[in-house]
Amino acid sequence: MRIATWNVNSITARLPRLLAWLESSGTDVLCIQETKCTDEQFPREQLKELGYEAAVNADGRWNGVALLSRVGMEDMVAGLPGGPEYDGVQEPRAISATCGGVRVWSVYVPNGREVEHAHYAYKLRWLEDLGAAVAGDASGGRPFAVLGDFNIAPADEDVWDPAAFEGLTHVTPAERAALESLRARGLTDIVPRPLKYDRAFTYWDYRQLCFPKNRGMRIDLVLGNQSFTVAVKDVYSDREERKGKGASDHAPVVVDLEV
């Protein structure tokens, strides 16, 4: 089974590339983040033509997550049970389902904006509640993984230059500690192997030629329980999909499982 995660940065803008990538990549299950569309605007019919059913949690703003599967989908849950609100709303940042016998979550962790911003405290609370929500599945026997844009670089080697991020979100000790607490639930960080450069980044800013200079970050993660981790046969960041006109600023992260 091939499972992937991809922050598409607007599914409407990225739809031609998404459809082409699904056809060429042979992906069975795709976790999508930042759909930036309403539930009604989600391109279910185009995806159905390729054999995928879709589960969507979206409200038309800058968030939104989805799951695509061509190996079945059961027990779908939209949202983060017990999760916090921001500005009085529980944002659409999580969705989960069982696909082909594997339980998967697609998550879009809050950005945090600035360390002193209320969004940063919200981010830390959101991660805490995510840990509580996945604890049962993480310790269970069936393959389980949380995939998505975590907006956290787990370690200094996951950014192109640690000095360039000093004092900024995504790399603070509190964020990394929150991620470590999530992993302590029984999850392993499935790190992509480098295909071209010495580090397998997943995100490159559109500005300042960050992509051609490989000034990137690894913030799109796959956290799997023991049953998931032992089934992993390959994992990589599809850097080629970040190239060219109309690309997302994130690359898909692809995991091959023997299940």
Q: Quick: pLDDT tens for 44-103.
A: 999 999 999 999 999 988 899 999 999 999 999 999 999 999 999 999 999 999 999 999
| Domain layout of the chain by residue ranges | 2-257
pLDDT for the residue numbered 166: 95
pLDDT at 39: 95
Q: What is the identity of the amino acid at 10?
A: S
The strand order across the sheet containing 29-33 reads: 53-57, 65-69, 29-33, 2-7, 253-257, 232-237
Integer Cα distance of 4 and 102 in angstroms: 13
Q: How far apart are CA 97 and CA 247, in angstroms?
A: 27
Question: Per DSSP, what are the bridge partners of residue 29?
Answer: 3, 69
Enumerate residue ranges in the chain where pLDDT < 70.
none
Is 2-257 a domain of CATH 3.40.980.10?
no
> Which residues does 183 contact at the CB level (< 8 Å), separation at least 6?
189, 223
Structure confidence at residue 196 (pLDDT): 79
Cβ–Cβ under 8 Å, residues 38 and 59? yes
Within 10 angstroms of residue 117's Cβ, the number of other Cβ atoms is 13
Grouping H, G, I as helix, E, B as strand and the rest as coil, residue 175 is: helix
Residue 61: predicted pLDDT: 82
Q: Measure the CA–CA gap between 93 and 43, rounded to whole angstroms.
A: 19
SS3 track for 135-157:
HHHHCCCCCEEEEEECCCCCCHH
DSSP 55-67: EEE-BSSS--EEE
